[in-house]
Amino acid sequence: MSLYYVQKYLYELNRSPSVQSDYRADPIAAVEVFAGDGELKLTTEERSALTDPDIGKLYHLGVNGQILMHFAAFHGIEWADYLERMRDGIRTHGPVREGVYALTTEL
């Protein structure tokens, strides 16, 4: 897994109008361009979570909540729904895999 690169892509998406425009036009192509560069930076699972967008899966993968919250807002996801999608991600996929949100207890 490449949590660093998922978060780096989301950081760029959250800040760059040109990256946002590319993503809006064709999310799959936009993520593929980032995932390329001769070195596979993102797994198929990560690319899918970014293009769906699957907030719960991204949270489960360990994406920082501050970065993820902006991605959710970019998709028009309301705050309460954002929080519920994170909870659903844990229920569906299991504890956060890595990063600062790795869970040490059950829900």
Question: What are the domain boundaries of the chain?
Answer: 3-93
Q: What is the CATH number of domain 3-93?
A: 1.10.700.10
Per-residue pLDDT tens digits of the chain, which is 107 residues long: 588 899 999 999 999 999 999 999 999 999 988 776 556 688 899 999 999 999 999 999 999 999 999 999 999 999 999 999 999 999 999 888 887 667 655 55
Measure the CA–CA gap between 25 and 22, rounded to whole angstroms: 5
Q: What is the pLDDT of residue 10?
A: 96
Q: What share of the chain is helix, strand, coil (3-state, %, to 5)?
A: 65, 0, 35
